[in-house]
């Protein structure tokens, strides 16, 4: 259901934090900065930059709608390139590769999925799974590339301030290990594993015994923290090889509670559980939303061992332009906290009744509802069946109405027949009376004329009665 999550492709009016400065996103200045990459120029163009952002796109063809969509996407990339052009530390370029005309170039670069954005750095390629909006793309480049990829994949915690900063990170998966030194073979295995997931998963290490004690870490031990979890899971089997760490992370990379954000929205939406998502809307800055989020965290922590439970939290403040669409699609009011189960492909959904946010569920009540969802007792497909049943009921009502109409028509016909019979009888009686009058005239030979008035026929009943 990627169309459900499609955001406006031009910049939102929000401010983007770039280091110490805040940048109000500019208007496009009209200068072409985005390169059309092809077999003749792609090597020379990409050599000019330290970082290259490449949009591998489907060919728009002759469809006017597709062409217009591509123009909007290209404008978003031009805006991003304009802002990235102002960075002093690194030269960052933006390019396009057409999936129809330059498929060979994409193959040489290892790009196999069109309509995707890839970020090329000195030694790796990172796929961008966020919205194609200039501000979000620039923020991703800054936060995840400039501040992450160009730095070591493992951040070292060496004092209490750095420890506090580590503990304040709650929206991302993070790992922390305690090792003897940089030269430790066990730290090297940890660092090699970090490169596999960097910058999407955060890796920390300490060589300080006091920091390790504060984190309750033993030597060569690694702790794995899910988002929003205070207590970590100790990775079993220390000391670890790189392969063992990678496997553990891959087996646990779907958190029990995770936050949908502009830079990861497509990645998360594609990672559904049996074709469904459990979606929770809660505005963290709102008192009710904050309270509901705390309930979600408690439920997630109590059920972190359940591999089938994964709740996607959406803060409406992060997607202001999508709110009307979501409210219309799901039939909910997002001014209050909401939680429901949504089909990933067609957006059919069922939502927990919370009385417009006035009656938030307790953690136990929410767990009971989630158990019904996971067991299949609550299922959006069942809601479709109910709709079909309603349609069948409507058809039955129509049939009953038709039968009633037929009966009414038959009754009307019977009434008409009775009326006709009565009219015929009246006519016969009148004729007999006339004959008798004629006989009387003949017998008496009277010149007086009899003024016999025929009886009027009864009025016909209304056929529409």
> To which CATH superfamily is domain 154-251 assigned?
Glutaredoxin (3.40.30.10)
Mean pLDDT of the chain: 81
Left (φ > 0), alpha (ψ -120 to 50) or beta: where does 170 sit? alpha
Structural domain boundaries in the chain: 7-149, 154-251, 257-378, 393-465
Of all residues in the chain, the percent with pLDDT exceeding 70 is 75
C-alpha distances in angstroms, 19 versus 139, 146, 149, 202? 11, 11, 16, 20
The stretch 324-350 carries a mean pLDDT of 92
CA distance linking residue 377 with residue 198, whole number of Å: 39
Question: Which pLDDT band holds residue 27 (cuts at 50, 70, 90)?
Answer: confident
User: Whole-structure pTM over 0.75, yes or no?
Assistant: no
Structure tokens at 299: 């439920």
* 7-149 matches 257-378 in fold: yes
Per-residue confidence (pLDDT) for residue 145, from 0 to 100: 65
**In 3-state terms, the chain is what percent helix, strand and coil (to 5)?**
45, 15, 40
Query: Span 380-397, mean pLDDT?
Result: 56
Distance of CA 273 to the CA centre of its chain: 14
> According to the CATH classification, is domain 257-378 in 3.40.30.10?
yes
228-239: per-residue pLDDT in tens? 999 999 999 999
Instruction: Give pLDDT, residue 451.
Output: 43
Evaluate whether 169 touches 143 at the Cβ level (below 8 Å): no
CB distance 234 to 221 below 8 Å: yes
Question: Which letter does DSSP use for residue 13 in this model?
Answer: S
Q: Tokens 């501000």: give the residue.
A: 135
Residue 89 near residue 21, CB atoms below 8 Å = no
Query: Is pLDDT at 103 greater than 90 in this prediction?
Result: yes
Q: Is the pLDDT of residue 105 over 80?
A: yes
Q: Which residue has the tokens 């809601």?
A: 383
Render pLDDT for 242-263 as a digit per residue (tens, 0 to 9).
999 999 999 998 999 999 987 7
How much is the average pLDDT of 164-171? 95
CA-CA distance, 297 to 327, in Å (whole number)?
24
Q: What is the structure's pLDDT at 296?
A: 97
d(CA 76, CA 450): 106
Mean pLDDT, residues 432-448: 43
Q: Tell me the mean pLDDT in the region 390-417.
A: 47
Collapsing DSSP to helix, strand or coil, 209 comes out as helix
- Higher pLDDT, residue 336 or 384: 336
Helices 242-251 and 185-197, interaxial angle, to 10°? 40
Q: Hey, what long-range contacts does 417-421 have (CB within 8 A, 24 or more apart)?
A: 419/458, 419/460, 419/461
Determine the 3-state secondary structure of 400 from DSSP.
Answer: helix
DSSP strands (E only) in 226-345: 233-234, 257-259, 276-281, 311-314, 338-343
Identify the weakest region by mean pLDDT among 120-124, 278-282, 425-429. 425-429
Place of tokens 């003897």: 180
* Residue 106 C-beta-side C-alpha neighbours within 13 Å: 22
Range 289-302 average pLDDT? 96
Q: Of 3.30.300.210, 1.20.120.1690, 3.40.50.720, 3.40.30.10, which CATH number belongs to 7-149?
A: 3.40.30.10
Query: Dihedral sign, CA of 231, 236, 238, 241?
Result: negative
Cα–Cα nearest to 187, from 242, 247, 224: 242
């Amino acid at each position: 259901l990627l169309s459900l999550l499609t955001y406006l492709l031009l910049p939102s009016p929000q401010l983007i934090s770039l280091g110490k400065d805040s940048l109000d996103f500019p208007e496009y200045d009209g200068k072409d900065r985005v390169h059309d990459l092809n077999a003749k120029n792609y090597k020379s163009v990409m050599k000019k930059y330290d970082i290259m952002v490449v949009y591998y796109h489907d060919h728009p063809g002759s469809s006017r709608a597709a062409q217009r969509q591509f123009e909007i996407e290209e404008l978003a990339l031009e805006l991003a390139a304009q802002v990235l052009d102002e960075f002093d530390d690194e030269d960052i370029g933006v390019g396009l590769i057409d999936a129809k005309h330059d498929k060979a170039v994409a193959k040489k670069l290892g790009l196999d999925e069109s309509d995707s954005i890839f970020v090329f750095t000195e030694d790796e390629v990172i796929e961008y799974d966020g919205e194609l909006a200039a501000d979000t793309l620039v923020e991703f480049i800054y936060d995840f590339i400039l501040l992450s990829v160009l730095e070591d994949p493992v951040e070292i915690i060496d004092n209490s301030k750095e420890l506090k900063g580590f503990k304040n990170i709650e929206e991302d998966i993070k790992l922390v290990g305690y090792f003897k030194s940089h030269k430790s073979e066990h730290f090297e295995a940890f660092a090699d594993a970090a490169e596999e997931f960097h910058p999407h998963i955060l890796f920390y290490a300490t060589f300080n015994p006091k920091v390790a004690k504060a984190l309750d870490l033993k030597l060569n031990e690694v702790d794995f923290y899910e988002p929003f979890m205070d207590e970590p899971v100790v990775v079993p089997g220390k000391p670890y090889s790189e392969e063992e760490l990678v496997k553990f992370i891959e087996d646990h990379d779907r958190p029990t509670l995770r936050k949908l954000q502009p830079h990861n929205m497509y990645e998360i939406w594609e990672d559904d559980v049996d074709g469904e998502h459990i979606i929770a809307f809660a505005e963290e800055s709102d008192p009710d939303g904050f309270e509901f989020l705390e309930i979600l965290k408690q439920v997630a922590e109590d059920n972190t061992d359940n591999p089938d439970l994964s709740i996607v939290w959406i803060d409406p403040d992060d997607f202001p332009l999508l709110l009307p669409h979501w409210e219309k699609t799901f039939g909910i009011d997002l001014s209050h906290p909401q939680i429901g189960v949504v089909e990933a492909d067609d957006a059919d959904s069922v939502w927990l009744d919370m009385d417009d946010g006035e009656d938030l569920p307790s953690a136990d009540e929410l767990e009971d509802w989630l158990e019904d969802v996971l067991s299949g007792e609550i299922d959006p497909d069942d809601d479709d069946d109910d709709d079909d049943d309603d349609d069948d009921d409507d058809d039955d009502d129509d049939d009953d109405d038709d039968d009633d109409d037929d009966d009414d028509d038959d009754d009307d016909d019977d009434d008409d027949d009775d009326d006709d019979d009565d009219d015929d009888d009246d006519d016969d009686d009148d004729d007999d009376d006339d004959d008798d009058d004629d006989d009387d005239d003949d017998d008496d030979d009277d010149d007086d004329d009899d003024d016999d008035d025929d009886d009027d026929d009864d009025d016909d009943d209304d056929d529409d009665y």
